[in-house]
Amino acid sequence: MTLLDVRDLSVDLGGRTVLDGVDLAIDAGEFVGLVGPNGAGKTTLLRSILGLVPIFAGEVRVGGSATRSARRTIGYVPQRLEFAWDFPISVEEVVLSGRTRSAGWLRRPGVRDWRAVREALERVRLADLRRRPVGELSGGQRQRVLVARALALNPRLLLLDEPFTGLDIPMQELLMDLFSELSDEGAALLMTTHDLVGAVHGCSRLALINRRVVADGPPEALADDDLWRRTFGFREGSPLLTQIGAR
């Protein structure tokens, strides 16, 4: 089943074309890495899917629907610096906000909500810190809180914006294993990342983007170094091309 269908999407911001005719479809069980240079439109694409930036042309359908309510079922992990970590709130309260975003802020959380919070914290291995103020957390712990907040919604579609930034290798591996588990369970994941080697080895599909999708397919099908040079502007013979298996 196709959980995300982006068709001929174009976005203009400040008089500049950021996305130009983007087509991207993701089925249940796929873990797609969205990779491209700085300014390629990766974060803008995620925000367009969420309805946070205006679309100039094209269409976004989530689970077959183009309605705003369908987009509220998406789990979203923003870049860590976008969250106000000095706000006086506990870890579990941050995670609970992932539920209230969908159900409404005026509804009192019930047993199902708190169960979802507990399960999400257990998946990111932070259950023992649930009462701690978020301002006291390390960078890696904060990133896992944002992942748990998205998971508390039990989303079928999960958008991840640079989830590994500032994390050490063990934490990156923990999250990559979790993302793979989620896709195995039938969720669809779209992740922006600058870790090209990790994306090649960890994602089931890659979408190379630079304002538009340059190439899209399983990592082994994107071994032509010309695709990567067209997307990133790598020079011919760049050592990074060897590391990602391009030839």
**Neighbour count for residue 168 (Cβ, 10 Å):** 11
Q: Which amino acid is at 40?
A: A
Give the per-residue pLDDT at 241. 79
Give the per-residue pLDDT at 104. 53
This prediction's pTM: 0.93
* Residue position matching structure tokens 């689970």: 63
Domains of the chain listed by start with CATH number: 2-74+156-243 (3.40.50.300), 90-154 (no CATH)
**Average pLDDT of adjacent 10-residue blocks, the chain of 247 residues:** 96 94 97 96 96 94 85 89 82 91 63 93 95 91 94 96 89 93 97 94 96 96 91 85 79
Give the per-residue pLDDT at 153. 93
What angle (nearest 5°) sits at the alpha carbon of residue 64, between those of residues 59 and 69? Answer: 80
Rounded to whole angstroms, the Cα distance separating 54 from 13 reads 9
Distance, first Cα to last Cα, the chain: 33
Give the per-residue pLDDT at 30. 98
Give the per-residue pLDDT at 107. 65
Q: What are the contacts of 109-113 at 24+ separation with CB within 8 A?
A: 113/152
Alpha carbon 141 to its chain centroid, in Å, reads 17
Residue 128 phi/psi, 5-degree rounding, is -75, -10
